[in-house]
Chains A and B, each alone.
Chain A
Amino acid sequence: MTRATLVRANLRRRLRRTILTVLGLGIALFLFVTLRTFLHTLQTVGDVGSESRLIVSNRLGIVFPLPLAYRARLAAQEGVHTVSYASWFGGIYQDPRNFFANYAVDEGYLSLYPEIVVSDEHRAAFMADRTGALVGIRLMERFGWTVGQTITLQGTIYPGEHRFTIRGVYQAGRRGFDESSLLFHHRYLDEIMRAQMGGEGFVGWYVLGVSDPDRAPQIAQAIDATYENSASPTRSQTEKAFNLAFVGMYGNIGFFLNAIGMAVVFAILMVSANTMAMSARERFGEIAVLKTLGFTDGAVLRLVVAESLVIAGLGLALGLGGALLLFNFAEFDLGGFVPGLAVTPGVALMAAAIALLIAAVSAAVPAWQSARLKVVDALRYVA
């Protein structure tokens, strides 16, 4: 027998309680890690954005288009090596609840986005088909689509039913990059616009490839100055800044997620400290016996701390392990809603710190009781 035997035996004493405490702790830590991960991912969406790509959009807002005529002028801008453009389509597949991103892109778009990984075969097939579509692998899986299948999107901005043939599947070349979009040719959108509005020549936004990311701010400034007094003034920003602005639109949702996370942590603290204190109270007499046998306060403290450390450790393993398994290995992303959910080392450390804190608080009550306990009185209480 060792001291560890004593700790193990004590944990087994009320096995149901130990298991419930571990499970409760695990659940709470899982929830905490999930909320923090969610928040962290939202806040770092910008990191997925490149600094060597500039997004040029209408200053009035992303819903306003820009003239296609800007293209030549943008291409001539010093420091810009590629100009591409895209337009939001806003099609609905069968039901508005099946929301996913779908937009039209011009020929140069894929060359600006090495993150969009497509096999040569698929790329060629996509390029060759006027109504072809390139679909993210997650989206393919979500609707069980196959390559070559023709799907119909209900237009919201462009009325009517629009047919697309899936010609290729893309995967993300880097973690966190979206895999749930549908891309199709801008020239197909131009046809639709021509038929419906009697005019083409507008694009949603431009994407510019910049040779030297350090010079991106000056280039953006130069572009915006050019169109300052035109009918469609522009706003140019790095893709990173553009993405961050989108996150900003959520407002203080992050604050609420944080508040909930803190409520969860507080509730666990409460419940586990209570459980540990209950265990200690039941063993009042036994601690007195240990002290009679010559165990010092320090020795009793170490036993109590070891016990709560085991419980907190198991809870942490369960909660953090569960979250890691779900997000980092199974790559769960809420059906494409928030791609790239991953538990970061920082969040994991925070969870570990909370587990440690809970162990400390839980051990503090019995340790304090043990130190305060006068053996003589305690023995009388037992007898």
Chain B
Amino acid sequence: MALVEVQGVSKVYRRDTVAVPVLENLDLTIEQGEFLALMGPSGSGKTTLLNLLAGLDTPSSGSIRVAGEEISQMKPRQLAAWRARHVGFIFQLYNLIPVLTALQNVELPLLLTPLKKKERREHAETALRIVGLEERMHHYPRQLSGGQEQRVGIARAIVTDPTLILADEPTGDLDSRSAEEILELLERLNREFHKTIVMVTHDPHAAERAGRTLHLEKGALLEARSVARPAPAGGSAQ
């Protein structure tokens, strides 16, 4: 059974009195353990789709099932609890809390679990070890480089062992070397820990790392490419 099933989803935003359709009757299936890249020009609706998958937003119509649960009809409160349990979110600008150390930032989502204080700390330390930052545990975000900050962001996303990891332009703000490291890390999470990852990106090189790449254009999935490497010409998309 597929992990994520999106069926006939539309999303219409209201800007004052004008209705702006962003997604139209979209279908998508994501299998357990898949590493999926979402590409598309600005305004194509890829971030909207990601937000819908993350339960940050609800569709205007259609159904979204994640691990058998219908999330499109949930109330904000239920969604919050659902996110805490099933989603790990990686941001383009890391969005670490500046007043908390790396370890505390990673531990933050565990506050929403019934884990004990000691277990929380152990989990957070493990996550930081996975991203290779055990040496920097007690540093504050401003004491870290961009790549390191993003690795803390990833540790925070995996610490609850979520069903789904969603990444919004995770390398968008990084130099190419750091970006490379982050992509390797995501690949490893997918390969070694069998994490299901959905990544929105502009960068075709980033998309190459994914097992599958989807192109969104004007609110519809235009083309679904196979696991096979896309032709280099595909880079002209951006």
A–B contact with Cβ pairs below 8 Å: the answer is yes
A residues apposed to B, CB below 8 Å: 1-3, 5-6, 9-10, 12-13, 285-286, 289-299, 374-376, 379, 382-383
Report the minimal beta-carbon distance from B87 to chain A, rounded to whole angstroms: 8
Q: Which of B82, B93, B121 contacts A383 (CB 8 A)?
A: B93
Report the minimal beta-carbon distance from B176 to chain A, rounded to whole angstroms: 20
Task: Mark interface residues in B101-114 (1 if CB within 8 Å of A CB, else 0).
Answer: 00110011101100
B104 touching A5, Cβ below 8 Å: yes
B80 touching A295, Cβ below 8 Å: yes
B100 touching A376, Cβ below 8 Å: no
Q: 29 A-B residue contacts at CB 8 Å?
A: A1-B100, A1-B104, A1-B107, A1-B121, A2-B117, A6-B100, A13-B99, A285-B95, A286-B97, A290-B108, A292-B83, A292-B89, A294-B81, A294-B112, A295-B112, A297-B80, A298-B77, A299-B80, A375-B56, A375-B57, A376-B51, A379-B51, A379-B56, A379-B91, A382-B91, A382-B93, A383-B91, A383-B93, A383-B168
Chain A residue at smallest Cβ distance from B57: A376
Q: Say yes or no: is B85 at the interface (Cβ < 8 Å to chain A).
A: yes
Q: Say yes or no: is B197 at the interface (Cβ < 8 Å to chain A).
A: no
A293 touching B54, Cβ below 8 Å: no
Task: Mark interface residues in B45-84 (1 if CB within 8 Å of A CB, else 0).
Answer: 0000001001011000000000000000000110011111
Docked Cα-Cα span, A5 to B120, in Å, equals: 14
Cβ–Cβ < 8 Å partners of A290 in chain B? 108
Cβ–Cβ < 8 Å partners of A298 in chain B? 77
B80 touching A294, Cβ below 8 Å: yes
Chain A residue at smallest Cβ distance from B140: A9
Q: Say yes or no: is B132 at the interface (Cβ < 8 Å to chain A).
A: no
Q: Say yes or no: is B178 at the interface (Cβ < 8 Å to chain A).
A: no
Does more than half of chain B's interface fall in helix, strand or loop, or is it mixed? helix
A294 touching B84, Cβ below 8 Å: yes
Q: Which of A6, A9, A289, A294 contacts B95 (CB 8 A)?
A: A289
On whether A12 and B80 interact (CB within 8 A), knowing A294-B109, A383-B91, the answer reads no
Docked Cα-Cα span, A292 to B86, in Å, equals: 12
Residue from B98, B111, B156 whose CB has the most chain A CB atoms within 10 Å: B111
Q: Which of A2, A12, A291, A299 contacts B99 (CB 8 A)?
A: A12
Does more than half of chain A's interface fall in helix, strand or loop, or is it mixed? helix
Report the minimal beta-carbon distance from B71 to chain A, rounded to whole angstroms: 13
Cβ–Cβ < 8 Å partners of B54 in chain A? 292
Report the minimal beta-carbon distance from A135 to chain B, rounded to whole angstroms: 60
B residues apposed to A, CB below 8 Å: 51, 54, 56-57, 76-77, 80-85, 87, 89, 91-93, 95, 97-100, 103-104, 107-109, 111-112, 117, 120-121, 156, 168
Report the minimal beta-carbon distance from B136 to chain A, rounded to whole angstroms: 16
Docked Cα-Cα span, A297 to B78, in Å, equals: 11
Cβ–Cβ < 8 Å partners of A5 in chain B? 100, 104
Report the minimal beta-carbon distance from B157 to chain A, rounded to whole angstroms: 9
Cβ–Cβ < 8 Å partners of B104 in chain A? 1, 5-6, 9
Report the minimal beta-carbon distance from B69 to chain A, rounded to whole angstroms: 15
Docked Cα-Cα span, A289 to B108, in Å, equals: 11
Report the minimal beta-carbon distance from B43 to chain A, rounded to whole angstroms: 12
A293 touching B76, Cβ below 8 Å: no
Report the minimal beta-carbon distance from B72 to chain A, rounded to whole angstroms: 15
3 pairs of A and B residues whose beta carbons are closest in the complex: A294-B84, A9-B99, A294-B83
Chain A residue at smallest Cβ distance from B81: A294
Report the minimal beta-carbon distance from B75 to chain A, rounded to whole angstroms: 10
Docked Cα-Cα span, A227 to B220, in Å, equals: 107
Report the minimal beta-carbon distance from B192 to chain A, rounded to whole angstroms: 24
A382 touching B95, Cβ below 8 Å: yes
Cβ–Cβ < 8 Å partners of A296 in chain B? 76-77, 80-81
A297 touching B109, Cβ below 8 Å: no
Report the minimal beta-carbon distance from B3 to chain A, rounded to whole angstroms: 19
A292 touching B56, Cβ below 8 Å: yes
Docked Cα-Cα span, A151 to B114, in Å, equals: 78
Report the minimal beta-carbon distance from B46 to chain A, rounded to whole angstroms: 13
- Known pairs A1-B120, A6-B104. 10 more at Cβ < 8 A? A1-B100, A9-B104, A289-B95, A291-B80, A293-B108, A294-B85, A299-B112, A375-B57, A379-B56, A382-B93
Chain B residue at smallest Cβ distance from A371: B76
B112 touching A293, Cβ below 8 Å: yes
Chain B residue at smallest Cβ distance from A296: B80
B81 touching A13, Cβ below 8 Å: no
Residue from A290, A291, A293 whose CB has the most chain B CB atoms within 10 Å: A293
